[in-house]
Chain A
């Protein structure tokens, strides 16, 4: 029984192996890769995608998908910066307004999925475009500079030994640990897995499936808002064109992290590893002098490979 392959958590181990292989590869390709300075840079670059991927993981665990995450994040960033800079809101209040907008978008996604019974893919394809358009119209496609220091505080760094660590990176890690705990050790966390794994069985045991889904989409929206704050803090501006590479990178991170697109299976910490893999790829390829278009090309191939691996391991398990 204990020798059964199901007892070896390949799903949890796979992402780490992939990360290790990737790091080894780039170490042989660039001597600047494996330095404390560079690795701390990777972690700082990863924080936006990492936090987006938390929300995305919650949704994918319910067997859904959210194509709108990056665009909703861009809208949140524009709202919070414009409210603070153009309308003179207290920066903290402006941040709360930004979070409210992204949470509202998540809620809208959730209601369309549960009440109107539309597939998540279609709903979020729609809200992807809606959020993008609103962002451009509202910001007049202009970057919002001159932010109050409170809005960029999470971009600041402190020294841990010789490495620079940003408060944003710590925020991301804290959020991952929190999400991991909630998913593993609370009743709502297990209900989320049940809804993704067997919605009908979940309903018959008395779990209110639709309510779980609405909460999940709204909560994911809140995470996109936090990602927006991190993005604003890191770049120092409100950028209506933010989130365009992060949108698919977040989905890539979740898939590379071993969460099944069929729902109900996966460990959220895997998404953090997945986000780091995506970050390492982009960083390593940049160090090797590969143009950004090719990075996107390679990330695309990576997603397909990861989904294929997921598909095949499921077949093997049956």
Chain B
């Protein structure tokens, strides 16, 4: 692992901001899901987002991925204000989201799934007009992408349903990594997986970051978060409670802040990131 990450410089407070949210508010009727939350994602990092149920974690992610439109607040991508009306808008802006499930078509091949919805067409006017698929090129690119990310799946033409759960998740992650220009958002990517399969996906997420793409990781799994996150965004009561450094804070302190058992002021000074 050290060999693989040797060229990777740990992100610091000086790394440029890739994505930023300021004072995001989202209300659902009487319920305020996001109460002026801030958010910062830096270049080259894996930022974990954690929070108790109802802390506004998924509302925040929905706002970042275009699944909901916030009522107030500002979203910046590379320092420029952006507005997403749908997940498609976010995708066009270079933000890819890996959903917990429902992300792949099981009966279709891996190569087809990688390019689903944005198939490569044969060059020339006829290819564009009749929307003819360039299957050779898609297959070649699928093989190249999977090799680049060291996903050990042999045949790109096999149906996704022949894969294990972890391999399927790897296909979804690889698809996001292949198309994302700026950010990859992953919603509980290891939740449904066993230990070995989960580690396989974590390893892949690390490689995505090492490729230079910052990753937002939503997870309930504290050991996983501590294993791969560079920084941890703790969401609480619709606000960002703290951003902490997993190398200097203990897991129990993190959970304490998340649940409100400890306030941010009670944390040691070096715990912040």
Contact B130 A198 (CB under 8 A): no
Q: Among A7, A200, A201, A205, which residue has its beta carbon within 8 angstroms of that of B118?
A: A205
Contact A198 B106 (CB under 8 A): yes
Report the minimum CB–CB distance from B117 to chain A (whole Å). Answer: 3
Within 8 A of A (CB), among B87-111: 87-88, 91, 97, 99, 102-108
Task: Known A206-B117, A207-B116, A264-B107; judge A190-B162 contact (CB<8 A).
Answer: no
Task: Known A188-B131, A197-B108; judge A204-B87 contact (CB<8 A).
Answer: yes
Say yes or no: is B132 at the interface (Cβ < 8 Å to chain A).
yes
Number of interface residues of A (CB under 8 A): 24
Q: B92's closest neighbor in chain A, by CB?
A: A206
Contact B162 A4 (CB under 8 A): yes
Report the minimum CB–CB distance from B107 to chain A (whole Å). Answer: 5
Contact B132 A198 (CB under 8 A): no
Contacts of A4 in B (CB 8 A): 162
Task: Known A187-B131, A205-B117, A207-B116; judge A193-B162 contact (CB<8 A).
Answer: no
Say yes or no: is A293 at the interface (Cβ < 8 Å to chain B).
no
Give the interface residue-count category, chain B: 20 to 34
Q: Among A186, A187, A197, which residue has its beta carbon within 8 angstroms of that of B105?
A: A197
Say yes or no: is A1 at the interface (Cβ < 8 Å to chain B).
yes
Contact A204 B118 (CB under 8 A): no
Report the minimum CB–CB distance from A213 to chain B (whole Å). Answer: 16
Contact B103 A204 (CB under 8 A): yes
Cα A206 to Cα B161 with chains together (Å)? 21
Contact B162 A194 (CB under 8 A): no
Report the minimum CB–CB distance from A168 to chain B (whole Å). Answer: 26
Q: What secondary structure prevails in chain B residues at the interface with A?
A: loop
Cα A7 to Cα B88 with chains together (Å)? 35
Contact B132 A185 (CB under 8 A): yes
Q: Among B106, B154, B155, which residue has its beta carbon within 8 angstroms of that of A197?
A: B106
Report the minimum CB–CB distance from B152 to chain A (whole Å). Answer: 13
Contact B107 A197 (CB under 8 A): yes
Say yes or no: is A140 at the interface (Cβ < 8 Å to chain B).
no
Contacts of A191 in B (CB 8 A): 117
Cα A204 to Cα B118 with chains together (Å)? 12
Mark interface residues in A229-249 (1 if CB within 8 Å of B CB, else 0): 000000000000000000000
Residue of B102, B121, B161 ringed by the most chain A CB atoms within 10 A = B102
Contacts of B117 in A (CB 8 A): 191, 194, 202, 205-207
Cα A186 to Cα B161 with chains together (Å)? 22
Report the minimum CB–CB distance from B196 to chain A (whole Å). Answer: 20
Mark interface residues in A136-167 (1 if CB within 8 Å of B CB, else 0): 00000000000000000000000000000000
Could you show 17 A-B contacts with beta carbons less than 8 Å apart? A6-B162, A7-B158, A186-B132, A186-B133, A190-B133, A191-B117, A194-B108, A197-B105, A197-B108, A198-B105, A201-B105, A201-B116, A204-B102, A205-B116, A206-B87, A207-B116, A207-B117
Given contacts A4-B162, A204-B102, A205-B117, 20 further A-B contacts (CB under 8 A): A6-B159, A6-B162, A185-B133, A186-B132, A187-B121, A187-B133, A193-B105, A193-B107, A194-B117, A197-B105, A197-B107, A197-B108, A198-B104, A201-B105, A201-B116, A204-B97, A204-B103, A206-B118, A207-B117, A264-B105
